[in-house]
């Protein structure tokens, strides 16, 4: 695997998948608190 691929995978997947995971977690937490 090329170095550019690894860097972009970390950045893009980290931002999009990581962002989605954090937002989902925050939504679940907010729902549990009744928001």
Question: Minimum Å distance from CB 28 to other proteins?
Answer: 7
Count residues contacting other proteins (CB under 8 A)?
21
Question: Minimum Å distance from CB 25 to other proteins?
Answer: 10
Distance of alpha carbon 2 from alpha carbon 21, whole angstroms: 27
User: Which residues are at the interface with other proteins (CB under 8 A)?
Assistant: 1-2, 4-5, 8-9, 12-13, 15-17, 19-20, 23-24, 26-28, 30-31, 35
């Amino acid at each position: 695997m090329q170095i550019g691929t690894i860097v972009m995978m970390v950045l893009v997947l980290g931002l999009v998948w990581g962002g989605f995971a954090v937002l989902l977690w925050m939504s679940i937490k907010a729902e549990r608190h009744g928001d």
